[in-house]
A and B are shown apart, each in its own frame.
Chain A
Amino acid sequence: MTAVSDVSSHAIARARWRPAEIVFWVLALSCAFLFPSRYLIMTDILRLALFTLSLDLILGYAGIVSLGHAAFFGVGAYSAGLLALHGIINEPVIALVVAGLVAMVLGFLTSFLVIRGVDLTRLMVTLGIALLLEALAERFSNITGGTDGLQGIEMQPILGMFAFDMFGKTGFFYSLIVLFLLFLLARRIVNSPFGLSLRAIKNNPLRASAIGVPVNRRLIAIYTVAAFYAGIAGALFTQTTALASLDVFAFERSADLMLVLVIGGTGYLYGGLIGAVVFKMLQELFQTITPQYWLFWIGLVLVVMVLVGRERIHRWVLWGPNLIIRQVFGRKAGVAVPESDAP
């Protein structure tokens, strides 16, 4: 077998849909019917999952660290808000795509700054861009509403048929569909030759360029795509909450995102989704128990999580289920969790 066919057969094997993945999405859909009173928090999780997916694309696959991903989220959020507020594009789906494209343009323009330099420089540059945008949004308060946020956004029904309701049902299904479609796209991207070349760059940029991968062009491309994803997440945020305020650009948002990805694991697309579920659940749990000091507990959990190591926690969580699975299906049927950098 030649090396080329080896690589491609490997890629094809990875790209195949596994039954468990289908079960995952069916489960996500069934949540809508299992917990009809929790649409809002579930919508929140979906938005965060999409946003995390965006960071995973650049961090997990291309190795670009970012502490300013909220910049694109915020641009998407304000774009969607302004489009709806001034009645420029009333149809939410078109507005969503347009808002994503606006963020994408910004992503493309700033990518040239980001690809210069390595990790620490990138952290500073991305952080700087987000802070810059936040300051701009505050300065031009006549457009953005400043600290008061965009007030009075009224969302039109999706495709003219499905109106946003108070219980968040429409918003939930809307977000779920958008997340699923973009997930499919992301899945296609990372399993394509393009996606494989990103992994090569992540592992060793020098070697990647030596074998003929155009490193900078690939990084610019994936950064731009990630910006589109983040912009869509931001636009979903505005559309489902009918709000956009300065905190969409907040540093905390970018930092939380990093935490979510750390919890879920980088470099496999489900990491972001699972991280979002776990993170929001922890937050909700601690906020309910202690509205005043929940930050302490969530901090403690994160420290413990990092100290113990995600792999070990996964193993503990899976110990019980594995015991059952082994009883039923025999010794070799146990379940393992992919490590942070799946091959």
Chain B
Amino acid sequence: MSIRSQLLLVAGSVAAMLALAPAQAQETVKIGLILPMTGGQASTGKQIDNAVKLYMQQNGDTVAGKKIEVILKDDAAVPDNTKRLAQELIVNDKVNFIAGFGVTPAALAAAPLATQAKVPEIVMAAGTSIITERSPYIVRTSFTLAQSSTIIGDWAAKNGIKKVATLTSDYAPGNDALNFFKQNFTAGGGEIVEEVKVPLQNPDFAPFLQRMKDSKPDAVFVFVPAGQGGNFMKQYAERGLDKSGIKVIGPGDVMDDDLLNGMGDAALGTVTAHLYSAAHPSAANKEFVAAYKKAFGQRPGFMAVGGYDGIRLIYEALKKTGGKTDGDALIEAMKGAKWESPRGPISIDPETRDIVQNIYIRKVEKVDGELYNVEFATFEAVKDSGKTKK
């Protein structure tokens, strides 16, 4: 009679399934927030989640008469999880926005769903150029690698750096960073002496760093995703590269504010181009940093700012549509949106739905005993050159 007992077990599970059946949408606007809350990219997810919570604390959870409800899901940065979660959020929870997306493959996996369901997809982290081209319903509030990489390429060529070795993570954003840097740096007369791609899942940089050291460049151009920078700098210092006069340059992901303070003095003098520094000297940023520190006991990084502006964009769009949640109307409302973010003035490009923002050249310095990226040059209203080239 054993089989019958198994049936009972299954019946129990089915009852559990019923209990999980979602509530139906009422006078609320639901946002499905899909983030990596566990696994290697968890720091990204936590920052964005924190920032979204912070914004909702500061601005209340009601916009245009609608209550905002955020449903947080963990995809551990695995694209098929992302897709399933996005699908379930859209179909079952009837969310009006899907948001988050810690890595490019996750953002791409959800793109066809955004198109099919006409649900705006707010990309708060992933930084590959092509993302916004995959669906007319994608809007980005983070950054693209092209924005910062072209600018650091120009800057390096103009500031006496002749030979550069590159070390980039081998996936779409890493390749974007490499290509755009190379293009602008070599156009400015620079030379790439060594090109190394490291696997994304392999945080051991030591063998690669040895090759870097042997090729004796003026500087190393580094792109690793946010969260891996600390590990990179540690090994960089262990190998003695910091004393050999080889400078680290790159897009700012490697010098994420989240980890910067733990990197030690080896990071001093690193020059990066990026959209945000916790040391950005504006009133809006000071307020943001203070509130974030107070609430979560740590410094916000650029991922937090992406999340903060992402939720703000949703609020602004809802204000404009008067609480209407039609996908097309929301996307129209988001196009051309403009405001002063903690990172500086930003807007949404009406044509590409990508972010337009200032890119700053920063140098790591000690301020009040803590390491900060101190901005010393600004490039205003930078568009994503990944698309403007086409």
Residues of chain A at the chain B interface (Cβ within 8 Å): 18, 20-21, 23-24, 27, 31, 34-35, 37-38, 40-41, 44, 138, 141, 146-149, 151, 166-168, 237, 241-243, 245-247, 268, 270, 274, 277-278, 281, 284-285, 287-288, 291-292, 294-295, 314, 317-318, 321, 333-338, 342
CB-defined contacts of B8 to chain A, threshold 8 Å:
317-318, 321, 335
Known contacts A31-B14, A243-B79, A285-B20; decide if A37 and B92 are in contact (CB<8 Å). yes
User: Known: A243-B79, A243-B80. Is A24-B74 also a contact (CB below 8 A)?
Assistant: no
Whether B6 lies near A270 (C-beta < 8 A) is yes
Cα separation A317 to B3 with both chains bound (whole Å): 14
Q: What is the chain A residue whose CB lies nearest that of B87?
A: A40
* Cβ-defined contact, A318 with B5, below 8 A: yes
A147:B13 contact, CB within 8 angstroms: no
Determine the distance from Cα of A317 to Cα of B112 in the docked complex, in whole angstroms. Answer: 42
User: Ordered nearest first, which 9 A-B pairs have the shortest CB separation?
Assistant: A20-B3, A147-B171, A335-B5, A20-B4, A291-B74, A338-B2, A147-B200, A292-B37, A277-B13
In the complex the two chains form, what is the Cα distance from A166 to B88 in whole Å? 10
Given contacts A37-B91, A337-B5, is CB(A148)–CB(B38) below 8 Å? no
Q: Are A245 and B5 in contact (CB under 8 A)?
A: no
Task: Given contacts A292-B49, A314-B9, A335-B2, list 20 more A-B pairs with CB under 8 A.
Answer: A24-B6, A37-B21, A37-B91, A38-B92, A40-B84, A138-B201, A146-B200, A147-B201, A151-B108, A241-B84, A243-B79, A270-B3, A274-B6, A281-B17, A284-B20, A292-B74, A318-B5, A318-B8, A336-B1, A336-B2
| Residue B11 interfacial (CB < 8 Å) | yes
In the complex, which residues of chain A have a beta carbon less than 8 angstroms from the beta carbon of B37? 291-292
With A24-B6, A335-B5 given, is the CB distance from A245 to B78 under 8 Å? yes
Q: Is the CB–CB distance between B20 and A288 below 8 Å?
A: yes
**Contact pick for B5, options A242, A287, A336, CB 8 Å:** A336
CB distance from A340 to the nearest CB of B (A): 12
Q: Is B73 an interface residue (CB 8 A)?
A: yes
Contacts of A333 in B (CB 8 A): 1
Chain A residue numbers with a CB within 8 Å of B49 are: 292
* Min distance, Cβ B108 to any Cβ of chain A, angstroms: 6
Tier of interface size on chain B: 35 or more
Q: How far is the CA of A35 from the CA of B72 in the complex (A)?
A: 23
Q: 1/0 per residue B50-86: CB within 8 Å of A?
A: 0000000000000000000000111000111001100
B119 nearest CB across to chain A (Å): 11
Interface string of B163-204 (1 = CB under 8 A from A): 000000111100000000000000000000000000111000
Q: A38-B21, A245-B105, A292-B38 are in contact. Are A274 and B10 (CB under 8 A)?
A: yes
Q: How far is the CA of A335 from the CA of B78 in the complex (A)?
A: 41
A292 to B78: give the CA distance in the assembly, Å.
15
12 intermolecular pairs with C-beta atoms under 8 Å apart: A138-B201, A147-B105, A147-B171, A148-B172, A151-B108, A167-B91, A274-B6, A278-B9, A281-B17, A284-B20, A294-B38, A334-B1
Residues of A within 8 A of B72 (CB): 291
In contact, A138 and B199 (Cβ under 8 angstroms): yes
How close is B81's CB to chain A, nearest CB, in angstroms?
9
- Indicate with 1 or 0, residue by residue over B87-106, a CB within 8 angstroms of chain A CB atoms: 11001100000000000110
Cα–Cα distance between A138 and B35 once the two chains are bound (Å): 23
| Residues on B with beta carbons closer than 8 Å to the beta carbon of A321 | 8
- Min CB gap B73→A, angstroms: 6
Beyond A281-B13, A336-B5, whether A41 also contacts B80 by CB under 8 A is: no
Pairwise interchain contact B170-A147, C-beta atoms closer than 8 A: yes
Shortest distance between the CB of A187 and any CB in chain B (Å): 12
Residues of A within 8 Å of B21, CB to CB, are: 35, 37-38
> Of the candidates A38, A149, A342, which one forms a contact with B105 in the assembled complex, judged by CB atoms under 8 Å apart?
A149
Q: Which of B198-244 contact A (CB under 8 A)?
A: 199-201
CA distance A317 to B2 in the complex (A): 14
Residue of A nearest to B34 (CB): A291
B contact residues around A38 at 8 Å (CB): 17, 21, 92
Residues of A within 8 A of B159 (CB): none
Closest chain-B Cβ to A301's Cβ sits at a distance in Å of 13
Nearest B residue to A138 via CB reads: B199
> Do B7 and A166 touch (CB < 8 A)?
no
Give the chain A neighbours of B78 by CB distance below 8 A: 245, 247
Determine which residue in B14, B17, B116 has the highest number of CB atoms from chain A within 10 A of its CB, and name it. B17
Interface residues of B in 1-55 (CB under 8 A from A): 1-14, 16-18, 20-22, 35, 37-38, 46, 49
Q: Are B7 and A285 in contact (CB under 8 A)?
A: no
Tell me the bound Cα distance from A86 to B117 in angstroms. 27
B189–chain A nearest beta-carbon distance, Å: 31
Contact of B171 among A148, A242, A284 (CB under 8 A): A148
Smallest CB gap from B42: residue in A: A292
Complex alpha-carbon distance, A23 and B117, angstroms: 37
Closest A residue, CB atoms, query B82: A243
B104, A281: Cβ atoms under 8 Å? no
Contact residues, B102-122 vs A (CB, 8 A): 104-105, 108-109, 112-113, 116-117
For the complex, give the distance between the alpha carbons of A288 and B201 in Å.
27
Docked Cα-Cα span, A60 to B347, in Å, equals: 60
Chain B residues positioned under 8 Å from A138 (CB to CB): 170, 199, 201
| Whole-angstrom CA separation of A18 from B113 in the bound complex | 43
Which chain A residue shows the least CB distance to B84? A40
Question: In the assembly, what is the distance between CA of A37 and CA of B200, in Å?
Answer: 36
Known: A167-B91, A337-B2. A246 touches B73 (CB 8 A): no
The answer to whether A21 and B22 have CB atoms under 8 Å apart is no
For A141, the chain B residues whose CB sits under 8 A away are 170
Interface contact B104-A148, CB-CB below 8 Å:
yes
The answer, among B22, B74, B171, for a CB contact under 8 Å with A37, is: B22
- B13 adjacent to A278 (CB under 8 Å): yes
The residue in A138, A147, A151, A337 that gathers the most chain B C-beta atoms within 10 A of its C-beta is A147
B109 touches A41 (CB 8 A): no
Bound Cα distance A334, B91 (Å): 41
In the bound complex, residues from chain A placing their C-beta under 8 Å from that of B112 are: 242
Bound-state Cα–Cα, A95 to B20, Å: 35
